[in-house]
Copies of this chain bind each other. A is one copy, B any other.
Amino acid sequence: MPPEDSAPDAGSDADALETDYSFLGRALRRRNAAAFVHVGDRFDDDMRYLTRFGGPDRPYAFVYCNGTATLCAPTLFDDQARREFPGDDVRVANQGDAAGRRAAAVLDDAGASGTVLVPQHVPHDAAVYLENAGFEVASTAAVADARAVKTDAELNRIRRVQRAAARGVARVEAVLYDAAVDGDELVWQGGPLSTERIRRQVNEVLAAHGVSDAGNTVVGAGASAADLHFTGVDAVRPRETVLVDVSPRGPDGYYGDMTRTFAVDPDGGWERRAYVAVEAAREAALAELEAGVAASTVHEEASAELAAYGFRVDDDAVGFTHSTGHGVGVSLHEAPALSGDDELEAGTVVTVEPGVYDPDEGGVRLEDLVVVTDDGYELLGEYPFGLVPRSRGD
């Protein structure tokens, strides 16, 4: 049983997860639109944000009209919808109808007409139902924009999930510290170590802390550490870099995201230089973070630092091959992107994750989550640094 303070479900009433729908009212006024509608299932993160409802894998509808937020609850989920939805009305009428048709019925009852705003990825059949009911459908990015700035209750969810992610990383460091070098093999608990064995160790720790691995745990070793999304099986050998990227999801839908890189018995070559350079790039990126800064500045500073250490920053296979970071919330990747031109706002949560890769050498990435503040940033969860695994007494 993990310590109680790590329970990601330990929210108090004061910490209740609400959604402030006033941004929808502003979007409607700005576009002279009558209503906002979205349709999606439990895997649609805009729906998760709008409804806070962990519903089924079939579509349901959210409607905002005349200042009223309505969830058209799917069959068998009435009670759960009433428990979880922070809006005004849970509607159970016409549960057999398609979600888009049910949304149109809500608008009819409200006497709405004219333009209905939707996220651009609203299911096509839902848009057609609205059009057939006489509405003009237009897309809005208002939900994605609103999601970028986090409330305290959201930050608390992310902190808790990130603590679990750090425990997953700690397990990896402990396993690598325990592993014995046997020629060109690393042996742990009687067998050769593999990325799959490490991944299962991480995911067990995440489960023990009440969060889901969400299919996201990336463990690469040597060449596969240079593969940004490696989820296969590879031997983990002495001297090569072992990259572990842990992005669990908590029960309220918020993600954590943390990466550390280790090497057992490194020979002091590429991986040492890479680690030092990536640590410096991390510091350079963090130093730029504050509200009002152009997101691209953060990426440019990290790139400049890595270039100063002699790593390429202009290739898609060798060197710094990706952006410095991305927003994290109810999606693992959301606004803002740290390579974009937008100014960072206070309350946005982003990864800072410089890395360098070389298929002939390996990969080194160091990733943390931060919330941007008016005068800098706050780290959301911490884990120590160091290429060589050490015993940390836990």
**A332 to B58, alpha carbons, bound, how many Å?**
10
Stretch from A118-126, A145-153, A290-298, A304-312 forming part of the interface with B? A118-126
Pick from B125, B189, B322: contact of A1, CB below 8 A: B189
- Would you list which residues of chain A between 301 and 346 have a CB under 8 Å from chain B? 316, 321-322, 331-333
**Cα-based distance from A95 to B98 in the complex (angstroms):** 34
Residues 30 to 66 of chain A near chain B (Cβ within 8 Å)? 43-44, 54, 56-59
Interface of A is mostly: loop
Q: Which residues of B contact A251 (CB under 8 A)?
A: 215, 231
Give the one of A1, A44, A232 with max B CB within 10 A: A1
Closest to A321 in B: B76
Inside 8 A of A231's CB, which chain B residues have their CB?
A: 54, 251
Q: Beyond A1-B191, A58-B333, A207-B207, is A137–B121 a contact (Cβ under 8 Å)?
A: no
Chain B contacts for A59, CB-based, 8 A:
121
Asked, given contacts A189-B1, A207-B204, whether A215 binds B121 with beta carbons under 8 Å apart, the answer is no
List CB contacts (< 8 Å) of A96-139 with chain B.
118, 120-127, 137, 139
Q: Give chain B nearest CB distance to A201 CB in angstroms.
A: 8
Contact with B along A237-255 (1 / 0, CB 8 A): 0000000000001010000
| Interface membership of A354, Cβ < 8 A | no
A76 surroundings in chain B (CB, below 8 A) = 228-229, 316, 321-322
Cα of A322 to Cα of B74 in the assembled complex, Å: 13
Residues of the B chain whose Cβ atoms lie less than 8 Å from the Cβ of A333: 56-58
Q: Which residues of B contact A122 (CB under 8 A)?
A: 123-124
Q: Let me know if A214 is at the binding interface, CB within 8 A.
A: yes
- Chain B hits for A196, CB < 8 A: 7, 9, 210
Q: Which residues of B contact A358 (CB under 8 A)?
A: none
Q: Is A91 an interface residue (CB 8 A)?
A: no
Interface size on A, residues (CB 8 A): 57
Contact of A124 among B44, B54, B57, B137 (CB under 8 A): B137
Q: Restricting to A247-278, which residues have a CB under 8 Å from any CB of B?
A: 249, 251
How far, in angstroms, from A189 to B1 measured CA to CA in the complex? Answer: 9
> Is A23 at the interface (CB under 8 A from chain B)?
no
Least CB separation from A249: chain B residue: B215
The answer to whether the Cβ of A208 comes within 8 Å of any Cβ in the partner chain is yes
CB distance from A361 to the nearest CB of B (A): 17
Closest to A251 in B: B231
Which A residues, 176 to 203, have Cβ-Cβ distances below 8 Å to chain B? 189, 191, 196-197, 199-200, 203
A77 to B333, CA, bound (A): 15
Question: Of B126, B207, B233, B332, which contacts A213 at CB under 8 A?
Answer: B207
Report how far A209 CA is from B200 CA in the complex, Å.
7
A-B contact pairs, 22 of them (CB 8 A): A1-B189, A1-B197, A7-B196, A9-B232, A54-B231, A76-B229, A76-B322, A118-B124, A120-B123, A120-B125, A121-B125, A123-B124, A125-B139, A127-B127, A200-B209, A203-B207, A204-B207, A204-B208, A207-B213, A212-B212, A212-B214, A215-B251
Given contacts A1-B197, A203-B212, 20 further A-B contacts (CB under 8 A): A1-B189, A9-B233, A43-B44, A54-B215, A57-B331, A59-B121, A76-B228, A76-B229, A79-B227, A120-B125, A122-B123, A122-B124, A124-B127, A124-B137, A125-B139, A200-B208, A200-B209, A207-B213, A212-B214, A215-B249
